[in-house]
Amino acid sequence: MRNASAAGPARPGRREHWSSRLAFVLAATGSAVGLGNIWKFPYITGTNGGGWFVLIYLVAVLAVALPIMVAEILLGRAAQRSPVGAFRAYSRPGSPWLGVGWLGVAAGFVILSYYSVVAGWTLHYAWLSLRGFGGLEAGQIRETFAELYADPALNLFWHAVFMALTIGIVAAGVHRGVERATRILMPVLLGMLLVLLVRAAGGEGFGRALDFVFGLRAGQLTPAGVLEALGHSFFTLSLGMGAMLTYGSYLRARDDLVATSVAVAGLDTAVSLMACLVIFPIIFSAGLAPGVGPGLVFVSLPIAFGQMPGGAFWAALFFLLLAVAALTSTISLLEVVVSHLMDEYRMRRRRAALGAGLATLLLGVPSAMSGGSALFGAGFQRLTEPLFGAGQGKNWFDLLDYLASNWMLPLGGLGIALFVAWRVGGEAREQAFKAGSRFARLYWAWVALLRYVVPAGVGAVFLHAIGVL
């Protein structure tokens, strides 16, 4: 019987590994970089006034998100297994800790089902941009998004396209699929982002954008803003959904997991900040407000592109960038489920990818129909009102997002932190942290953050998300 103080897990059978540390950094950064960086971070920065919000976010990445990332990757690398197997390797038979592993697999499955619907919007907007989307009036652009959201057939089409791309890449394997795709997609993503940043830097709104994002103004910070910054630092790195654990299981024993975690967190943060410096200059130059919320990218930005010389080209480039970012994330989400099926049920990769992908595609159908279906839209909202209050019900799409963001991910991340900090044997944990690492001397600082700071931070985010704080 293996217990939590054992030196380590029994080694499983032959497992694919990344060809290099760079391959892991690109893949893990691809998992972390997604719609949360280029869509969500700019709009929540806008609604929270920039400046202080960004500073709190950066502190939270270092003090909360990065320690969890190291713990998650460490557990995967040490066990060489997907989430459920990794928790089993360091637990007694029948331990409730296995539930954290199952939660990670379930989170990847649920999130992918509706995330791919939003990802499909990016492809649709790129297509519209190439067809001259920038020539529409502001009112027409607002109507375009409303029509897209309410069109089940169009949403289902782009959802299926995005899932087909994701399934094809994951089915090809770690080397020929995930690694090869991210080696191409991540440089393309960063290249497009740099091109857009250079274009934004030459605009008249760039100085105002720099001041908005990095300027610290009195009275700007609110308690709700602090908790939102803390929560986003956690979610943006794909923590709590088994993705980093699964990718970590493809690392070799002597790979420097601390250095790679720092590199991934640094690149992810840089992309978020660059996205702000691409979007806000365009918004300010067009005389639009930065605090409009989720419509910043899909409504305000197209309006602004329409007022720019060559706006159709820049709009198409931006939405293709957004689609690439989304694809690198959907790959990692499906890989969590596929790796679980391969490890736990000995399924072949192609069969696991096709089966998990088709199941996810089907689960995503109600999300794709939520804006234009009485059953999954208004009808489902009324059905959930007893849970959320009169007039506060959620359609299928919003309910899955609420469950994943407010319950599954915080509990999963908290479970990983507590398990690695308190249940994995001290000797095994220390050896795993220090193996091949140039940051070995930071071991006790990491453990202290994981034991005390991380639970307090994630606990506050969780209580805020469910309305207690």
The CA distance from 296 to 44, in Å, is 10
In single-letter form, the type of residue at position 304 comes to A
Res 390: pLDDT: 86
Name 98's Cβ contacts closer than 8 Å, sequence gap at least 6. Answer: 84, 87, 88, 91
Comparing CA positions, the residue from 65, 66, 106 lying closest to residue 83 is 106
Helix axes of 396-403 and 378-388: crossing angle, nearest 10 degrees: 40
Check whether domain 21-465 has CATH 1.10.1740, yes or no: no
Res 4: pLDDT: 45
pLDDT along the chain (469 residues), means of 10: 41 74 93 90 92 95 96 95 94 92 96 96 90 70 88 96 97 94 93 92 90 86 88 88 95 89 95 94 86 79 81 87 93 97 96 98 96 88 91 92 92 95 90 90 96 94 84
Res 306: pLDDT: 77
Task: Check if the beta carbon of residue 228 is closer than 8 Å to that of residue 293.
Answer: no
The CA distance from 409 to 414, in Å, is 8
Whether this model's pTM surpasses 0.85: yes
Res 133: pLDDT: 64
In single-letter form, the type of residue at position 435 comes to A
**Helix (H, G, I), strand (E, B), or coil: what is residue 278?**
helix
117 class by beta-carbon count within 10 Å (0-12 exposed, 13-18 middle, 19+ buried): buried
